[in-house]
Each structure stands twice: as C-alpha cells, then as structure tokens.
Structure 1
Amino acid sequence: MKLFYSSAVKWFAGIVLLLSCMFSAAEGVSAENRPNVIIVLTDDQGYGDVGFHNNPKIRTPHLDQLARKSIELTRFYCSPVCAPTRASLLTGRNYYRTGVIHTSRGGAKMQGDEVTLAELLQLAGYQTGIFGKWHLGDNYPMRPQDQGFAETLIHKSGGIGQSPDQPNSYFHPKLWKNGDAFESTGYCTDVFFDEALKFMDRQQQAEKPFFVYLATNAPHTPLEIAESYWKPYQQQGLDETTARVYGMLTNLDENMGKLLSHLDRSGLAESTLVIFLGDNGPQQKRYTAGLRGRKSWIYEGGIRVPCLAYWPGHFREGEKIDQIAAHIDLLPTLLTLTNTPRPEALKLDGVDLSPLLTGSQQKLPERSLFFQVHRGLMPQRYQNFAVVTERFKLAGYPGTFGNENLMLQAVPVLELYDLSNDPGEQENVLHAHPETVKDLLSQYEAWFSEMKAARNFEPGLIVIDQMKEHPSVLCRYQDGTFQRGVSEGWMVKIVRAGLYQIKIKRQTEKPGKLFVNWQGRTVHEYLAAEESTAEFELKAGTGLLDICFQAEGEDRIYPGDNSTRGDVVLTQMK
C-alpha cells in the first residue's frame, strides 16, 4: 500500500505537536532543552572553500574559529545540486519523495503536502524565519510561507537575477518580504544576515524560541561582489573567477563573525544551536582539498561539503566525527535536540545524529546513502547515481548530469572506490570487489524503485487560488513543464471557475493571438502590437495549462532560456 503525505498528515502532526507543547508548557520548558536553531546554508561552497580545510589562499578567519569551537562532521554529504539538497534538508526525506527532481524547468517544485522542519518547529512553539534562498517553488502551496515560515525574506527561483526576477543584482536586490515586493539596500548577503539578526532580537525580546534558516545565494553565480573583496585575491595570482568566489566567501565569513558576535553580546550563545554547511560542491574549477569532481558530479567533490555543529556548553569543541552523515539527517537530529516530537505517520529517510553530537554514542549503525540527479523530469535508472557507505562508493554513469537522453547500456557503466584508502577516487576497484558491487547495485535498484513508487517523480502542483495567492505569476523557465528542452505550459489546479485576466510577457511587439489551451479546449484572443492582456473563462480542474502568444504570420515560439519570455500573470476577475 502506498502512503502519500497529504494535508491530513500535516493536520495530524499539528494535533500531536500542539498537545505536546501544552504538556511541555505545564512542566516548564527551559531554554536549555528548547534551544534556538540557526541553519546557515551556503550556495556552491565546496569542501575546499574554507581555511580550516587547508585552503592556502582563502581567508575565512571567523569560520576557522567556529570550526575550532564546533563539532565538525568531516564526511557530510549533500546532493550534487541545490534544490534537491534543500528539499532533503527541510524534510528529512530523499528529495525524489518530495516532488523535487532537479533545479529548474519544472523540476524544483516541492509538493505542498510535504512536512518541513519549519512546520514542525512552528507547531512546537518556535518563531520561524527564512532569509535568502528558497528554491522549492514560487507559487502556492509551495512557497516558504506555505511551508511553516512565519517571516520570509527571499529571492525567487534559483538565484538573484534569474527569471522571474529580472533584471536584478546582488547589490540592492529586489526581494520578496512576507509575500510582498521589497527593495533592499546593500549587498545581498549583508541584507540577509542583518534581517535575520533583527528577527532574532524580536524573538528574544518576546522570550520565544526561534528557528532561523539563513540560506545565502552566495557564492553562486553571477559572481557579483565589491572590488575591494576580490581584487586582493587576484593580486595573489588567482584568476578573476576564483578571486570573485573567494571575495564573496570573505564577505560571508564577515557576516558569520557578525552573527556569532551578536549571539555572544545578546546572551544567546549557550541557548542557540548553529549548523553551518554548504549545499553542494563548487560550480567552478578550484581548490577542493584533494576531492574529485565538483557541482553536479556524484564524485566526492560534488557531494561532500563542510558541516559544523556549534552549541557552547553542549557540544565538545574541536571534535571531528568521520562517520558518514547527510542533509536528510538534520531534521530528525534537530527534532531530538529541540525536544520536538516526530509524528509517527511521517516517513523519514535520515537518522538522528544527536547521540554522536552529544557524545552519548560513538558510532551509529552502518548504512548506505543514495544520491542521484540529472536534467529532465523523468529520472532514469542508473544515471549519475552514487551509493556511499563507510568504506565504499558505487558510482553509475558519472558526469552525465546534463544528458537528458542518455542511451543506457544493458550493463550499466559503474565505478567503485574504496574511500577509506582513496578519498580522492583515483583508483577504480570495481573488479576487485565483485560482491560489494553486487550488493550496492542491488541496494540502489531497490532504492530507485521505492523512490519511483512514492510519487512517480511528479513535481509539485501549482494551485491557482486567488484566496491564497493573488495574482499567480507563472514563470516559464523555472516552473513550466518542459519536454525536450521546451516548455509546454504549467501543471496547475484551478480551484474556482471564472473569468481570468491573462497577461503574458511577449517575445515580440507585433500583433497576434494569445492562445489558451485548458481542459482539452483551445481558445484565443487577438492582441494589437501594444497589448499583452486578454480575459478568458477558465473551468475549475487539474491539468496542463498552456498559454502562448503567436505573432501574426509567424510560427509559435517555445522559449526555453532563463528569461522572462512567455511568463504569465494570472488574475481572477470574478
């Protein structure tokens, strides 16, 4: 029997947690057993992009100091690209279960009925805020405000300057605050940290525990940073690309110093648990501390990231834990450390790391971690996958992330590495360990079948409900349903039938027709050269909503690039 995580699960979770909090309040909950939680998640900062991993060029003094005071999980893994990591981190589940497939073109929409860490902590009495990058869907019911965050300050899509927020810049970026457009002042990373600190101050004054998800878009491209940050690195002989990345990370490091100092000055340090980590390997070629590969690869350089756990007076300073751990483990770990009950109906893939962090246990039972990601909305068995154990890694078709139409061989292309002796993955020992290969391949095949059975790889559904989101902005590049590189429309549910105004971002100033194909019926309205809107009667229902503008005398254009061409604003009139 398949178990789907519907709104009923969220309702059940809410009842359980509310009752738990009532009992906790009666018993007297202290800050010690309900710590504040801060997760700092950076974007494209690889394992080697910190000083404490012996990078000879980068300057990260505050992170280096944090590492000396923290527990470091030295073998911490994330997915090889960002949206899958974020889905797994926030749900404790393998991202294929959540509706997320990859990073764009309809693949980064988490199902609205997923239960997030923010929702669980919010129901347990925490004040929740996100500052930075969400990247799990920009429409109801997938937005952060729909998924447990009471305060939101985010950019849309996968990054600042990507559609639908174009044009935009890392300097004074246009953001979205609690659902409304927000013109910020300053550099993006500074803005996110400053707003997070203000949020923390308000919760401290109200004597309420808080959860801050501080997910920067730095050092993701575009590599925009003040010259004063990157020029010194270029003067050391680094190329401009690397210099800019390191400059962005130096700015990030300064903000981490500001955050940690603020915790000390405000007296919050001992009642606040801080997790710092990256979301995947580096996008560009640079120092990786000897690890092979980078972003999108399932070699160690693509999926192994820095991870620090800091809680003064509770975690041991400077300890290194070399047991494998991953993004899926943070939710169950934080539920334990915050004394937040986990609903029994909620299936998690991660394990609770708190016994390792508190020192009550030296080793957890051995297990396997699974990773896979590639372009296209229908994952292919064996493509760009890895199974990681304490000793071995089995890799399948490595380096094929961008190949949407990979011709798989009857016998899959496999590699095996003994990570205990070869963390740089230089020697393929496939033929020396046939039984290990057989076992790990069997595990992978069972895992892939289970992932497919969960939701059949169906991305989250955009719900057109003007009571929840008004208007609905449909971004073609980020959220459209793509086949063979072009958008065919959007998978939506229209809650209420009625008259809708449709405004389209046109590709041309010529006159033509605005077409709407919905529920098996195609209609159109003529638009003059200066017009971009028309009104249509739309039925309630679920399916593919295809909207396009076709210029007079020309064939239809199927835009597939990262631009706003073909984006639609949908407003219910009555």
Structure 2
Amino acid sequence: MDKKIIKPNVILIITDDQGYGDVGCNGNPWLKTPNLDAMHDDSIRLCDYHTDPMCAPTRAAVLTGQYSMRVGVWSTLNGRYYLNKNTKTMADFFHESGYKTGIFGKWHMGDEYPYRACDRGFDQVVSFGGGVIGETPDYWDNDYFNDKYIKNGETKDFTGYCTDVWFDETISFIEDNKNKPFFCYLPTNAPHDPYNVNPKYAKSYLQQGLSDKLSKFYGMISNIDENIGRLENKLKQLGILDNTIIIFMGDNGSSGITTDAEGFVTDGYNANMRGKKGQVYQGSHKNNCFIQWHNGKFGKPRDVNGLTSHIDLLPTLIDCCNLKGEGLKFDGISIAKDLVEGKDALNKDRKLIIHCMQLDYPEKYKDFTVLTQDYAFIKTKNDDQENMLLFDMKNDYGQKKNIIKENMSMCNEYIRIYEKWWDDVTSNGQYDYSYINIGHDDREMKLTCHAWHGNTNMAYSQINIRKGIYGSGYWTLEVEKEGKYSIELRRWPRETNLLLSEGVAKIPATEKTHQRPEGKVYEICGAKISIQGNFQIQELSSKDSAATFIVDLHQGKTKLQTWFLCKNGDCIGAYYIYIKYIS
C-alpha cells in the first residue's frame, strides 16, 4: 500500500444473524435500510463473500485471519468458543502498531482470563457475558433494555436499548481518540433472538402483513441502520470520515427467515438462496461485506466478484494500515493490492472450506462445503446418515438440482481437498481443550455451565437455568498457582440473592421484551465436587444459598465437575461457580 496513507482509523461492524438478504439494497421487498444502502453504494462490495455458518467461529476467523477450526473455535457452546490463547487477534496487531483499540458489543470468545477482550488487545471494552444478552454467563435478567454490562472489567448500569448503547459507547470512544488512530470493533448482538425491540421499529413491517417474528427481526435491523447513520454523521462532524475505513458485514446466514427441512425459504427473503444460519447451504455462509474508505486508493465504489472470506480481512487491514505483521502466515489473503489496482474480479482459482460443527468434540466430514468459483460440494453427516451434494453455482444459484451422480470424479477431488485442509487445520492440537486459568491473581472468577464439556443437555441461556436443565458437565482448568482455593457452588447466580432451593417468578412478555418462565424448584440437600482426585461431599439445608468447598490444588491442567443432590434423587450440576485463590 502507498506509505503516504498514514494510519487510517478502522471501524469494523459485525451484526449478529443478519443475512445477505437482510438489507434493502439486496432486493428485500419489505426491509428499509437507507443508511446501509447508502454505504453499499459508497463502498467496495465483495459480492461473493463467505463466513462460517455460526457466530463464534466467524468472529474467531475475522479476528485472527485463520480458519476458525485452526484456532480452536468450532462451536458456540461447550466452551468451544474460547479463542486459542496463543493466537494474536486483530486488536493485538492494531494495539502493537500504536492504535487505540475498543470493542463495544458482543465478544463471545471467552468470559474469563486469559480469553476476555481486555486480555486480547482491547484498551476499552463494553460487553456482556456469553454470546447473547440473556445467556447463562450474562448478568441475570438482562433483556436488551436498561441492562447491566461489563465496562473495563466492572459491571455497570446502562440506560437504553442495547444497540443504542453500543453505538453511544463507540461514539464516545471515537470522540476521545479523534486525534489518534483508532480501531473500533462494533459487533452488535442484534438482530439475534430474543427479538426484543421497541415496537415503533417493528410497526411498519407488521402493517405489511409480515409475521411477528420477522417484523421484530426487521425492526432490530432498522434500529441498527438508524445507528449507522448516526455514526457516519458523527464522523463527518469530527472531520475524520474520509480517513476512516468502515467495514460492514454479517456473521452468518439469517436467523429471521424460516426454512423447511431442506433449507428452502418458507417465510422471509433470502436473495434466492437456499439455507439459513447453522445449515450447510449458500444462505448459511454467504454474506455482505462493504468496505468504505474515501481516502483510500481503491478507486470508485464497485462490485468485486470472486471468492473472498472473513479470513481475508486481517491480512488486508495489515496492508491498508501498515500494521506490524509482515511475513506472518494467515489462512486468509490480502486483497488490498488488487483493490488498489482497480480489479473487480479476484481469486479465480480459489477454494474455500466452510464447516458447521456445533459439537463438543469435532467430527471429520461433518457438515462441510468445498466452494469454488463454479461449484459448491457439500457433505453432511448427521445421526450416521451421510449425504453428498454438488451444485453448479453459475447455473443453479438457488442450489435446487443436485448433480452429484453424473460428476462423481469431481466429488472425489473435492473430498481430497477437504481432507488436506482438515489435516492442516487440525495439526496444531486444537482438539485439546481451551483451559481456563485460575490462580493468575487473587481476584474471584465466575464460571458457568455455558462452558461445560461432556454434556449435551446444555443450559446455555437463562431460560434453561429457570427451567432447571437436568445434567452436569465439567470445566477444564489450568491451575497457575499452587495453594488453597475456595470454590462456591450455586444454583442461581449470586446477584439474584436466591437460596439453592428457591424458585424464581415468571416474567411476562411485554411489548418490548420476551417472556421468561417460572424457575423450577429443586429441593437441594447436598453438594459434591471433584477436582485433581479430590472428591468432597457436603450436606445442605433449605436455608443455604451456596455450597463452599476449600480445596488444595497443585499447578497444572485439570477438570472440575460439580453436582447438587436433591431429596427426590435428582442430581444436577452447579450452573454457577465462583473460584478464588485464598492462600
């Protein structure tokens, strides 16, 4: 890149579950997104841009320039969203190159040291626990409005709607750093469910006869669009819009649409694509990527065809911003030079691998796509049933005709491509667990069942906690400091002040927020804990709010599992635990 372009600012906006068709400029007949449409018209538009089909893997890939499998993130649950602690992030590269860095919104790469955003290159952090507001690690009963979020390690009260908060904090960060180069990561949790939004944003879609779900989903996007306009106006007022690279993208396919079992849309708009979030078809991983940079040398706004991917953003930004990172190897490729040269067709011979694996332990051949300019080869493996599909993407964009039978030789080649990729990305031991460090300092650490391994009945949301999901799993820990530790087991998070055997009242739905069910009562009479061969049991009464164990731990990797014993014979894991080094 031209060295005269000195340290442009960068704003990376990633929305949650907003698919390719969930913008007006891509032909959506109902959705109005005037500010995103204007950005589209003023940007380099990567027209064949692909992500993972799920959110945490996409974020890991964006932040590292590597396939998500390589950096240990292939799921949104079971602790498999913890980004490999030895992998540098996009924020690290910017920070080391003199940028001020901030994240405002969804992190979902780990809630404990050393996986938190503040451990991974970010100077300023405003975020929440888990991957969705209202998930198990989040502050209890957060519901998108007037919530408690984590600001630089401290829980703080915030007023207003979550998306408005993220943009408010972004604008404040930009105002504080307007005379310095900054990298701002703005990953909204909207429009992910629950579809909580002020009804004024959903009203026009309901009036068009759309379903309640789709109207609220589109309402959340309308609010995002409104905030993007507000952000661009602020950049103009500060006189820094022209030297700011703004990237907008979605993290995976749409969750607002409804499809049948074969992935064909039955409600909503998907730009003639098959598939949505979490599936294997085109609509699960093709997304928008707009790159706006007025002071850049990319030439006029235009469509840029050819396979591009989320793994390309980091190497491209390293070149655009002259970051320290030359000579490093990424799975992605920099397209900066091609854009400067005015190209509108890239990567003719490229092959991309896309996988979808919501599992604790990865399975080879499960739900993957080998994608080329002309073809999409898909192999699925579910309940021991395997399927292979091949689509001619030039003539069958909607993936309606499987041409596998007449092209088996091509399929064999695609399987070899996949197997080579698999051997490569699994060669660095990421099958191992991402161990959560304890004893790093004297601060207490909270762990939740969201990160359980070895359990398929996941209590990933606070609704699951209320329902009292049956089962138990284990956490993987690395003890940094030998000594005594206090481990406190709870049925409910500490901020509720509830006793172990108490329930919690139902919260009815309002015009803005979703219903939350009454909490199940377990008559808990005992607790058990197992760690480093240390097995303890403790009797409990109806007046107890927690069970606290004092254990001696030596350095090293270990597993921790907990159980609550109930009078009727039920046995559940402790959904929340609090660990502290005491001596």
Q: Provide TM-score, normalisation by structure 1.
A: 0.88
Distance 1:458 1:358 in 2: 41
Matched, 1:232 2:204: yes
Q: Does 1:385 align with 2:368?
A: yes
Structure 1, 535-544 or 115-124: larger mean CA deviation: 535-544
Name whichever of 215-224 and 280-289 sits farther off: 280-289
Give the secondary structure class of the aligned counterpart of 1:211. Answer: strand
The residue identity in structure 2 corresponding to 1:367 is R
Structure 1 Cα separation of the partners of residues 319 and 81 of structure 2: 29
The aligned residue for residue 501 of structure 2 is 508
Of 251-260 and 412-421, more deviation after overlay is shown by 412-421
User: Given that residues 96 and 457 in structure 1 are in contact (C-alpha distance below 8 angstroms), is that contact kept between their aligned partners in structure 2?
Assistant: no
Alignment counterpart, residue 430 of structure 1, candidates 376, 396, 404: 404
- Residue of 535, 538, 548 corresponding to 2:563: 548
Partner of 1:43: 16
The secondary structure found in structure 2 opposite 1:74 is: strand
Return the letter of the residue paired with 2:316: T
Q: Distance in 2 between matches of 1:227 and 1:360?
A: 44
Please state how far the C-alpha of 1:426 moved relative to its aligned partner: 1.1
Residue ranges of structure 2 left out of the alignment (5+ in a row): 259-267, 458-470, 492-499, 503-522
Q: For residues 361-398 of structure 1, what are the alpha-carbon distances to aligned partners after superposition, in whole Å with 9 as ceiling and x for unaligned?
A: 5534622111112222222121111011111110011x
Structure 2 residue corresponding to 1:304, chosen from 286, 294, 299: 286
Structure 2 distance, partners of 1:511, 1:393, is 53
Check 1:40–1:89 CA distance in 2 against 1; reply closer, same or farther (3 A cut). Answer: same
Query: Do residues 333 (structure 1) and 316 (structure 2) align?
Result: yes
- Is 2:221 aligned against 1:217? no
- In structure 1, how many angstroms separate the alpha carbons of the residues matched to 2:351 and 2:161? 40
Once residues 524 and 290 of structure 2 are traced to their aligned partners in structure 1, the CA distance between those partners, rounded to angstroms, is: 57
Q: 2:341 aligns with which of 351, 359, 369?
A: 359
> Which one of the candidate residues 408, 418, 434 is aligned to 1:460?
434
Aligned residue runs from structure 1 range 176-191, under 5 A? 176-191=150-165
- Structure 1: 5+ residue stretches without partners: 1-27, 559-564
Separation in 2 of the partners of 1:247 and 1:187?
A: 13
Cα distance, 1:323 vs. partner? 0.8
- SS at structure 2 position matched to 1:274: strand
Whole-Å Cα distance in 2 between the matches of residues 148 and 489 of structure 1? Answer: 29
Q: Does 1:494 align with 2:494?
A: no
Alpha carbons of structure 1 residues 484 and 232: separation in structure 2 relative to 1, 3 Å: closer
The answer (yes or no) to whether the contact 1:118–1:148 under 8 Å persists in 2 is yes
Aligned pair partner of 2:576 in 564, 567, 570: 567
- In structure 1, what is the equivalent of residue 384 of structure 2? 407
Task: State, as a whole percentage, how many aligned pairs show the same letter.
Answer: 34
Aligned residue number for residue 71 of structure 2: 98
Q: 1:228: how far off?
A: 0.6
Aligned counterparts of 2:205 and 2:337: Cα–Cα separation in 1: 41
Q: Which has the higher helix share?
A: 1
- Contact 1:97 / 1:457 at 8 angstroms: preserved in 2? no
Structure 1 146/456 Cα, relative in aligned 2: closer, same or farther at 3 Å? Answer: closer
Judge conservation of contact 1:100–1:459 (CA < 8 Å) in 2: no
SS at match of 2:428: helix
Displacement of 1:454 after TM fit? Answer: 2.1
- Greater CA drift, 110-119 or 546-555: 546-555
In structure 2, C-alpha distance between the alignment counterparts of 1:366 and 1:514, rounded to whole Å: 59
| Alignment partner, residue 289 of structure 1 | 271
For 1:347 and 1:104, locate their aligned partners in 2 and report how far apart those are by CA, in whole Å: 28
Counterpart position of 2:454: 482
Distance 1:453 1:363 in 2: 29
Deviations 1:96-133 (A, max 9, x none): 11111200122211121111010011001010000000
Give, in angstroms, the shift of residue 525 of structure 1: 2.8
2:55 aligned with 1:82, yes or no?
yes
SS for the counterpart of 2:572 is coil
User: Which is worse superposed, 116-125 or 522-531?
Assistant: 522-531
Query: Which residue in 2 is equivalent to 1:521?
Result: 534
8 Å contact from structure 1 (residues 394, 440) kept in 2: yes
Whole-Å separation in 1 of the counterparts to 2:316 and 2:165: 29
- The offset of 1:524, in angstroms, is 2.4
Matching residue of 2:423: 449
Residues 145 and 159 of structure 2 are in contact (CA less than 8 Å); yes or no, is this contact kept in structure 1?
Answer: yes
Distance 2:14 2:355 in 1: 20
Q: Quote the offset at 1:502 in angstroms.
A: 2.2
d(CA) in 2 for partners of 1:458, 1:184: 38
Aligned-residue offset at 1:156 = 1.1
Tell me how far apart the structure 2 counterparts of residues 223 and 359 of structure 1 sit (CA, whole Å): 43
User: What do the CA deviations read for 1:441-475 (whole angstroms, capped 9, x no partner)?
Assistant: 110011112222222423421001352x7211111
- Per-residue deviation, residues 317-344 of structure 1 (Å, max 9, x unmatched): 4300111111111110000000113264
Q: Pick from 552, 557, 564: which aligns with 2:572? A: 557
- What is the number of residues matched between the two proteins? 526
2:131 matched to which residue of 1? 158
> Does 2:304 correspond to 1:321?
yes
2:135 and 2:430 map into 1 onto residues whose CA distance is 29
Q: Distance in 2 between matches of 1:308 and 1:114?
A: 26
Give yes or no for contact 1:110–1:459 (8 Å, CA) kept in 2: no
- Could you tell me whether the CA contact under 8 Å between 2:490 and 2:547 is conserved in 1? no
Q: Distance in 2 between matches of 1:407 and 1:137?
A: 31
Q: 1:511 to 1:325 in 2, by over 3 A?
A: closer
Residue deviations 1:60-93, cap 9 Å, x none? 0000011111111011100001000000000001
Tell me how far 1:435 sits from its aligned partner.
Answer: 3.1
Aligned alpha-carbon RMSD (Å): 1.9
2:41 to 32, 43, 68: 68
Work out whether residues 92 and 328 of structure 1, in 8 Å CA contact, stay in contact via their aligned partners in 2.
yes
Distance (Å, rounded) in 2 between the aligned partners of 1:50 and 1:356: 27
1:425 deviates by: 0.8
The residue type equivalent to 1:502 in the other structure is I
Q: Cα distance, 1:41 vs. partner? A: 0.1
